[in-house]
Amino acid sequence: MKRLFSEVYLHLIAGVIALGILGISAHTLWMDRQNTWQEAEKASRNVLTSIAHDLDGNLELLDLSLKGAMEGLRYLGIQQLPPDLQYRMLFDRAVSASFMGTLLLVDEVGNLIADAGPVIASRSLNVADREYFIAHKENNHIGLYVSRPFASRTRHGDLSIGISRRLSDSAGRFAGVVMGSMPLTTINQLFDNLSLGQQGAINLFRNDGVLLTRYPYDESQIDQDLGGSPHVQRLLQKNSGTFDSVSPIDGVRRIISFERLDKYPLVLTVALSVDEIFSAWQRKALVLSLVTLILCCAVVGLTILFQRELKRRTRAETKLRRIARTDDLTGLPNRRAFRETFEREWRQAIRSGSVLSLLFVDADYFKSFNDRYGHGRGDEVLRAIASTLDTNIRRPRDIAARYGGEEFAVVLPETDLAGAQLIAETIRQTIVAMGIAHEGSPYHVVTASIGIASVQPSRGSERATVLETADQALYRAKAAGRNCVRNFEDGIGSRQQRHPHAAA
């Protein structure tokens, strides 16, 4: 039971250590992952803020150019001014908007009034079919309008987006549109020096979910209406935020930071690939996991080795205890084991009020046997008698022990005198039946004398009295001619001095 408890305790300690290592490693990895995620969010927010600031400034300059052209057009005498003064009145503010592609003024039917862009070969330009023109014509409260990407007719088909405002006459009727274009290539130049990883992306959406441009630039992905996508809906529902999602554009999972520009109907996003963000963390996690696995295996291995050593020591200690309690010659318990067993059964008999019997068995004429046949044969006789004793006591609590020399003792718990006599006589007859020749004995074979003591012990009674009684009974058997069984008829109360065994 003690050994089992030790093994369980050892396994428990090993399990706690292994779980502790796993717990610490898992916690470390989890905290590191959280820190990596937070750093990625912070980095994307910083990039987003910087880009949004630049884009907002450029759009504000372009809007100022639109408003400047509208104010110049309202000047009543502008038609009488020289062409160069007309240009300055209309487009003086447009000079500062270096990123602007084209600035156009068109009338109520879409025909070109004036432009601040490159020289146009033909003055018959008409934009009545453009989205921005139709939007302003149909809605007089639209304010600043951002168009979908279109192929510019004044810049050799470059994709651009138009930033436009409505022109109205003195009666409030639709009088045309002022539009400034921004080439997508110019917008994307804002993103060129950014390091977002191979799968990082920057997206510029209109507030209805139309993708205006994207970095890295891919013309096939431009001008998609993604307003119905749950991914894009999250962008449009709030002014700013950060979340992770799978892109509906290319299917890559990213951490996305987004911000709605304050003055313009645009949403800007900076997206970092989750796989790239955690690539370094995954390598670290792999190394730490391997180290943790090695440590856990080491704990398990050391536990197994320690358990084996513990078992080996336990077996050695058990063997030593057995050797210390076992007679080397006969294999029976020795005198020390006999005393321990006898004391234990004595206490048990007192508690239960049962009878306890004791046999002393002594080989007859054993000295003369050794003198005639040698000590080697004498040892064989002792082993044969020990085997006989062990064979004839069958109950688990009965014990036969070598008491010393050629003398043996048998403890018979819960056995009265009659039962003890029956067992003793069976033992005597079995020894005779072995037929071991002994010419120095009058019986011509090896025999044994047996003394019996039987008592019901009580508190205060002496164990030594029973030993003396059995010894006296053995003397009586010797005195009666040997090869017989005797008990001390006067019981425990009679005490006599033990006589030496004559010619034992």
In a domain, 115, yes or no: no
Mean pLDDT of all residues in 149-175: 85
Which residue numbers are catalytic?
Answer: 406
Give me the pLDDT at residue 503, please.
35
Give me the pLDDT at residue 16, please.
84
pLDDT of 128 strictly over 50: yes
pLDDT of 476 strictly over 90: yes
Q: How confident is the model at residue 344 (pLDDT cuts 50, 70, 90)?
A: very high
Give me the pLDDT at residue 306, please.
82
- Give the distance from CA 351 to its chain's centroid: 55
- Same domain membership, residue 456 and residue 346: yes
> Could you list the residue range(s) of the whole structural domain that residue 268 is in?
195-277
In a domain, 6, yes or no: no
Residue 371 has which token pair?
């003198």
Mean pLDDT of all residues in 275-288: 86
Range scoring the smallest mean pLDDT among 277-286, 329-338, 489-498: 489-498
- Same domain membership, residue 431 and residue 344: yes
Extended strands (E) in 352-493: 356-363, 399-404, 407-413, 448-455, 485-487
Give me the pLDDT at residue 238, please.
87
In a domain, 238, yes or no: yes
pLDDT of 182 strictly over 90: no
- Same domain membership, residue 248 and residue 347: no
Give me the pLDDT at residue 494, please.
33
In a domain, 121, yes or no: no
In a domain, 40, yes or no: no
Q: How many distinct structural domains can be found in the chain?
A: 2
- Which residue, of 260, 277, 294, is where some domain finishes? 277
Q: Which residue has the higher pLDDT, 115 or 84?
A: 115
In a domain, 263, yes or no: yes
Dist CA 142 CA 106 (whole Å): 17
- Same domain membership, residue 346 and residue 273: no
- Same domain membership, residue 397 and residue 257: no
Mean pLDDT of all residues in 261-276: 89
Residue 140 has which token pair?
């007089």
φ and ψ at 246, to 5 degrees?
-90, 125
Give me the pLDDT at residue 142, please.
85
Mean pLDDT of all residues in 223-250: 87
Give me the pLDDT at residue 170, please.
80
pLDDT of 95 strictly over 60: no
Highest mean pLDDT among 111-120, 237-246, 473-482 belongs to 473-482
Alpha-carbon distances of 494 from 205, 356, 479, 489, rounded to whole Å: 118, 18, 18, 9
In a domain, 480, yes or no: yes
The model's pLDDT over 313-322, given as tens digits with 9 standing for 90+, comes to 878 887 777 7
pLDDT of 497 strictly over 60: no
CATH number at residue 394: 3.30.70.270
pLDDT of 156 strictly over 90: no
In a domain, 241, yes or no: yes
Dist CA 2 CA 228 (whole Å): 71
Q: How confident is the model at residue 72 (pLDDT cuts 50, 70, 90)?
A: confident
- Same domain membership, residue 272 and residue 349: no
CATH number at residue 205: 3.30.450.20
- Same domain membership, residue 454 and residue 381: yes
- Same domain membership, residue 346 and residue 249: no
- Which residue, of 277, 298, 319, is where some domain finishes? 277
- Cβ(16)–Cβ(280) below 8 Å: no
- Cβ(480)–Cβ(450) below 8 Å: no
Residues 6+ positions from 459 with CB-CB distance below 8 Å: 350
* Residue 187: Cβ within 10 Å count: 20
- Same domain membership, residue 440 and residue 343: yes
The pTM (predicted TM-score) of the whole model is 0.57
Give me the pLDDT at residue 13, please.
81
The model's pLDDT over 399-435, given as tens digits with 9 standing for 90+, comes to 999 998 999 999 999 999 999 999 999 999 999 999 9
Give me the pLDDT at residue 365, please.
94
Dist CA 425 CA 412 (whole Å): 14
The model's pLDDT over 349-373, given as tens digits with 9 standing for 90+, comes to 999 999 999 999 999 999 999 999 9
Mean pLDDT of all residues in 234-245: 87
Give me the pLDDT at residue 368, please.
93
- Same domain membership, residue 481 and residue 345: yes
Give me the pLDDT at residue 83, please.
53
Q: Which residue has the higher pLDDT, 480 or 187?
A: 480
- Cβ(160)–Cβ(183) below 8 Å: yes
Highest mean pLDDT among 13-17, 32-36, 448-452 belongs to 448-452
Mean pLDDT of all residues in 154-177: 85
Dist CA 60 CA 263 (whole Å): 9
Q: What percent of the chain has pLDDT over 90?
A: 35
Q: How confident is the model at residue 123 (pLDDT cuts 50, 70, 90)?
A: low
- Same domain membership, residue 365 and residue 249: no
Residue 328 has which token pair?
């080397």
Mean pLDDT of all residues in 39-58: 88
Mean pLDDT of all residues in 22-50: 88
Q: Which residue has the higher pLDDT, 319 or 182?
A: 182
Question: Where does residue 91 rank: exposed (0-12), middle (13-18), buried (19+ CB within 10 A)?
Answer: buried
pLDDT of 97 strictly over 60: no
- Same domain membership, residue 477 and residue 382: yes
Give the residue carrying structure tokens 């796989």.
275
Dist CA 203 CA 211 (whole Å): 7
DSSP 116: S
- Cβ(86)–Cβ(78) below 8 Å: yes
DSSP per-residue codes, 4-29? HHHHHHHHHHHHHHHHHHHHHHHHHH
What does the mean pLDDT of the chain come to?
84
